[in-house]
Chains A and B, each alone.
Chain A
Amino acid sequence: MTDDELLIEQVASAHREASRDELRYHPRWHDLDAAGRIRAYERARALRTMEAALDPTGLSTTVRAVLARLPR
């Protein structure tokens, strides 16, 4: 795998550090060029569909990440 492929795979995950005041980018997103960022977007889109299909309740990791961040 190339370095770019490794970066794209990381950026396509739903992990983003929680932040109260600002959008928190994936730290590796900044290491990608425009083409790599678009591929990371498309990869994430494909992965979320697969994740939702594999989840018993049909939720993607993005949805689960947001649920975990909802204020109690």
Chain B
Amino acid sequence: MSDLDVHLADIVAGNRDAFAFWMAGAEPRVRDSLRSFAAAIDVEAVVQETLLRVWQVAPRFVPDGRADGLVRFAVRIARNLAVSEVRRTRATPVPDDELEAAAGSAVAAARDPMLRRAIVACRDLLPARPRRALDARLESAGGHDDGDLARALDMTLNTFLQNFTRARQLIAACLGKRGIAIDRELGA
């Protein structure tokens, strides 16, 4: 596994491209570290806030000499945010979990070039309407809610969501036919 701290100097210098590349590797690990909080807090909101805070505090970050120091720091920020949220919302406390284990978990499967080619090939086989719904989500990149995306495609919200669901299910089925093991939830 590569050390994402290779991007640290550029991130500290304010290089957004370096931060984007770092986030591409760090995001799955931060998300995985919050799995045990998923019933109590909106993990997506915590992940995004964590990554924003890392950008803000990176200039003051002091590496400890071990690999992926900034990722481990991000996992600690995420964990503290999650615990604060549980307290704030008085949600059911969650058990202590695998902080360090999550920080060291595998790099995202999305970096596997064979898997990437397979997913792209399966995407290219989608029927028109599911493809439009999937593309709208990707192009929006979290910038618009699904209601806005549906209106832009002249669909109702339910139709948009049904088409998006069909897109991911078809991609999951296509990957399955190629003998590629996928996350069960992608095809659910």
Contacts and interface: CB of A to CB of B under 8 A. Distances in A.
Contacts of A26: 42, 44-45
Q: Is the interface of B mostly helix, strand, loop or mixed?
A: helix
A62 B109 CA distance: 16
B141 A64 contact: yes
Given A1-B162, A50-B119, A68-B143, A29 B183 contact: no
Contacts of A54: 119-120, 123, 138
A46 B182 contact: yes
Contacts of A63: 20, 23-24, 27, 51
A15 B49 contact: no
A65 B161 contact: no
Nearest to A60: B27
Contacts of B168: 46-47, 50
Contact of A42 (B20, B52, B161, B183): B183
Interface stretch (B1-9, B62-70, B95-103, B110-118): B110-118
Interface in A42-72: 42-55, 57-70
Interface in A9-44: 9-16, 23-26, 29, 34-35, 37-44
Given A13-B142, A70-B19, 10 more contacts: A1-B158, A26-B45, A34-B39, A37-B38, A44-B44, A58-B110, A61-B142, A62-B51, A63-B23, A65-B142
Interface of A: 1, 5-6, 9-16, 23-26, 29, 34-35, 37-55, 57-70
